[in-house]
Amino acid sequence: MSDRAFVQVRDLRRVFDVSKPWLNRVLENAPRQYLKAVDGVSFDIRKGETFALVGESGSGKSTVARMVVGLLQPSGGTVAIDGVSMFDARAAQERQRLRRRIQMIFQDPYASLNPRWRVGRIIAEPIRAFDLLQGEAAIEARVGELLSLVGLHPDDGKKFPHEFSGGQRQRIAIARALASNAEFIVCDEPTSALDVSVQAQILNLMRDLQEKFGLTYLFISHNLAVVRHMATRIGVMYLGRLVEVSDGRQLFAAPRHPYTRMLLDAVPDLAMVGKPREGVKGEIPNPINPPSGCTFHPRCPLVFDRCRVENPPVIDGVACHAVNAGREAA
């Protein structure tokens, strides 16, 4: 694994206008309303590693994923992959060449596959789109190779997506992602729609493929048990902001941010039976009208006056006034 940053995300922001229609605002004398889905997120991903974003639903993880691959335009900030800007108009030609090297695996493997196409055509589509191989025989052989690579039979290319189980469909989605010889794959909750036993199979497959092809993953999940199995480094998101970024092992061994501790306390652990545990308290506030200061302060056990008025900067991988002031609970 290289130490060079393959993916660089800097001060990424996304604001959605969620205002009522113009006539309603006039009649009700209502102002415009904006939702900050992502607010100043920055991180690097080195080539060959898995960087995971975790947090409760509504924390902005999937919005970040879609901006990183260029499916969603940011309101501010930059994304560069292998030195190429994803949103600078001057880099349009370089970005077009980069597209082949970026793929995405979605949460629902059935919704992401065209039900009217046979599996072979679905997997072959990136090969044809990027003109990677010439001749139907070569393309068909490559599709069979990809199906075998993800644990399916080459003859499965003749079937339709509805003829497969959820885990098999996700294998097809992975084969499609590999069809363009991708180097960077964004995985948006790729196993959350699958049974636990199937989840393990898919995760092991993804790790094997990463080792074989040197793949780089951005892995989105709310399941810390899954993240523990996959991630090299982890970023914890809360209400659109990164509150902690840490090495995977270090984060599980010694979490620093109170929110990270709450998330970890909610994960079942047979080795900790009998030990007092704090579950995640409360819910994420309304992002249209977030709390002042640190947005986590209404749920935080370490809150003090400064937290209510000042948004904490990220210092040494943690955005928390209490931690930075040495007020961590034992």
DSSP per residue, 274-288:
TS---PPPS-PPPTT
Q: What is the DSSP letter of 193?
A: T
Its sign, for the CA torsion 80, 81, 84, 87, is negative
Nearest to 186 by CA among 101, 82, 88: 101
pLDDT by 10-residue block (mean), the chain, 330 residues: 80 94 91 92 95 91 93 93 87 85 89 93 95 93 96 95 93 95 93 85 94 95 88 94 93 92 76 57 82 91 91 92 76
Q: What is the DSSP letter of 293?
A: S
List beta partners, residue 219. 52, 187
Q: In the chain, where does the domain assigned CATH 3.40.50.300 lie?
A: 5-254
Give dist(CA 46, CA 184) in Å, integer.
10
pLDDT for residue 181 = 93
Its sign, for the CA torsion 133, 136, 141, 145, is positive
- What is the H or E stretch that residue 35 is in? strand 34-46
Give dist(CA 265, CA 244) in Å, integer.
16
Contact criterion met (CB below 8 Å) for 226 and 71: no
Contact criterion met (CB below 8 Å) for 41 and 12: yes
Does the pTM exceed 0.85?
A: yes
- What is the H or E stretch that residue 97 is in? helix 92-98
Task: Find the largest Cα–Cα distance for the chain.
Answer: 69
- How many C-beta atoms lie closer than 10 Å to residue 116's C-beta? 9
Give dist(CA 321, CA 310) in Å, integer.
9
CATH of domain 5-254: 3.40.50.300
Nearest to 32 by CA among 42, 16, 20, 44: 20
pLDDT for residue 3 = 63
Number of H-type helices and E-type strands within the chain: 11, 10
pLDDT for residue 58 = 86
Q: What's the residue count for the chain?
A: 330
Q: Are strands 216-221 and 50-54 parallel, antiparallel or unpaired?
A: parallel
pLDDT for residue 330 = 44
Contact criterion met (CB below 8 Å) for 237 and 314: no
Give dist(CA 203, CA 321) in Å, integer.
36
The two tokens of residue 110 are: 């059935």
| Cβ neighbours for 303, distance < 8 A, ≥ 6 positions apart | 294, 297, 322
The two tokens of residue 42 are: 């920055």
The two tokens of residue 134 are: 């010439």
Give dist(CA 110, CA 37) in Å, integer.
27
Nearest to 66 by CA among 38, 26, 34, 100: 38
Q: What is the DSSP letter of 99?
A: G
Q: What's the start-to-end Cα distance of the chain, in Å?
A: 35
